[in-house]
A = this chain, B = another copy of it.
Amino acid sequence: MSKKLRYLEIADVLKKKIKQGEFPQGQALPSQKELSEIFNTSVMTTRGALAELEQEGIITVIHGVGTFVSSPAIHNDTLSLQGFQNEMDRQKMSITNEVIGVKHEIEQRELLDLFGKRSGRFSSLSRLRTIDGKPVIYQCSYVEKQYSSVFDEYQADQSLYQLFSQKTGIMVTQGREIMIPVILPDDIAKTLGFDEPCTAFLSKRVSISLEEKVVLYDEAYLPGPYVIMASRKHGKNNSFKYIINQTGTIDSLDSFNDSDLWEDLI
């Protein structure tokens, strides 16, 4: 682990300390000056180490205030209520989050593979997201049995990521997702109130902890008329998200011109 580069060494040490819970989530780290004294190095080098951790989403540095262990990485959730909520506020729509059901003791081979386990059972939480009263998104989340209490305690309109992180102390720092264009399955279409066949994104996502373990799996159906994906690349900056398509027509390309939509993602 200990490279020859001082700032990476320091970053590794800090990362380990955070993993081991020496600095709880939301807690301030020692100041850059103090850290420099502790590690017997210069401020510039300490800053290099902190920059590494910030890049990985482990800490958040705020000018004039301090350096903090990151709160649950909601920004890793492309489908986050957070993101949607902000979008909604901007567009003056209201979003709600309704629990359909919780299942326990699920046995499924594919889940075992995804979570990298050889045996075990899972719990699921099905939710419906409504926009201006209309059900729009169906989402089902899975965790290992040992964390099932999180689903039991889950309340509508909460951030599942945040709750999971609070209850388990696990920091989610990575997410991977695949998106597939599909026709809404009959049962989902019925739940969402679609009478006719409807295209949708099927999103499958795994969330990965600081320890590199898969801790959460989500599947979501996002009907095409109401949700589109938008991405932006600017040099090495690279972002994408789901956005609500108010008009419901695929020809609305407003998102290209409405730079406001992107502000919070750069």
- In the complex formed, the residue of B with least CB distance to A224 is B181
* Chain A residues proximal to chain B, CB less than 8 Å: 44, 54-58, 73, 75-76, 78, 110, 113-114, 173-183, 199-202, 204, 206, 224, 228-240, 250-251, 253, 255-257
| CB–CB A114/B253 < 8 A | yes
Copies of the chain in the assembly: 2
When A and B form their complex, which 8 residue pairs have the shortest distance between CB atoms, in order from nearest? A57-B235, A181-B181, A56-B235, A181-B199, A179-B229, A181-B224, A175-B233, A177-B231
Known A-B contacts A235-B58, A253-B204; A178 and B228 likewise in contact (beta carbons under 8 Å): yes
A177-B110 Cα distance, complex, nearest whole Å: 32
Q: Which residues in B have their C-beta under 8 angstroms from that of A54?
A: 235-236
Partner of A57, one of B55, B200, B236: B236
Contacts A114-B253, A183-B199, A206-B256; A234 near B178 (Cβ below 8 A):
no
Residues of B within 8 A of A178 (CB): 228-231, 253, 255-256
Shortest A112–chain B CB gap in Å is: 12
B56, A234: Cβ atoms closer than 8 Å: yes
Contact A256 B182 (CB under 8 A): no
Q: Please tell me if the beta carbons of A174 and B255 are within 8 angstroms of each other in the complex.
A: no
In the complex, what residue of chain B is closest to A252 when comparing beta carbons?
B178
Known contacts being A180-B250, A199-B183, A224-B181, is A235 close to B173, with CB within 8 Å?
Answer: yes
Chain B proximity of A231: nearest CB distance (Å): 5
A202 to chain B, nearest CB (A): 7
Give the docked Cα–Cα distance between A238 and B237 (Å). Answer: 8
The chain B residue with its CB closest to the CB of A255 is B178
* A167 to B110 Cα, complex, angstroms: 50
Known pairs A176-B256, A224-B180; A240 contacts B234 (CB<8 A): no
Taken together as a complex, chains A and B put the C-alpha atoms of A76 and B232 apart, in Å, by 9
**What residues on B are CB-neighbors of A56 within 8 Å?**
234-237
Please tell me if the beta carbons of B201 and A235 are within 8 angstroms of each other in the complex: no
Residues of B within 8 A of A174 (CB): 232-235
